[in-house]
Amino acid sequence: MQIHESAENYLETILVLRNRKGSVRSIDIATELGFSKPSVSIAMKNLRENGYIAVDDSGNITLLEKGRQIAEMIYERHTLLQDWLITLGVDPKIAAEDACRIEHVISAESFQAIKDHVNNPPRNNND
């Protein structure tokens, strides 16, 4: 499941927009990311040709299974890392930006360790 960071961002954006709006078109992605429509169209063509998305005759974009798996993994990483950084006292805007960068480079092992720590923090002896 090794793909480029930009493709991961597109897949994550499709997931987020679908959850928010119900349907997703290229223009929605361009607006959300601040990219040009031609750039998004090229990216959607590549994602479609590689089996990550499907596009119907109306231009609605659907995540296929392997695209959905990547989108959900990246989104989980982003939300957990962002929330964790905020609880550590990082400004929410900076936490969101940092989480967006970290989510693409962190290993599965390190992410799982952070996830385990966040979900089961060490108990203080005074508890």
pTM for this prediction: 0.85
Percent of the chain residues past pLDDT 90, beyond the cut: 83
State how far Cα 6 lies from the chain centre.
10
If you average pLDDT over residues 2-21, what whole number do you get?
Answer: 91
For each of the domains in the chain, give its residue range(s) and CATH number, in order of start. 5-69 (1.10.10.10), 74-119 (1.10.60.10)
Sign of CA dihedral 67, 37, 35, 45: positive
Q: What is the DSSP code string of the chain?
A: ----HHHHHHHHHHHHHHHHHS---HHHHHHHHT--HHHHHHHHHHHHHTTSEEE-TT--EEE-HHHHHHHHHHHHHHHHHHHHHHHTT--HHHHHHHHHHHHHHS-HHHHHHHHHHHHSPPPPTT-
pLDDT tens digit sequence for 51-85: 999 999 999 999 999 999 999 999 999 999 999 99
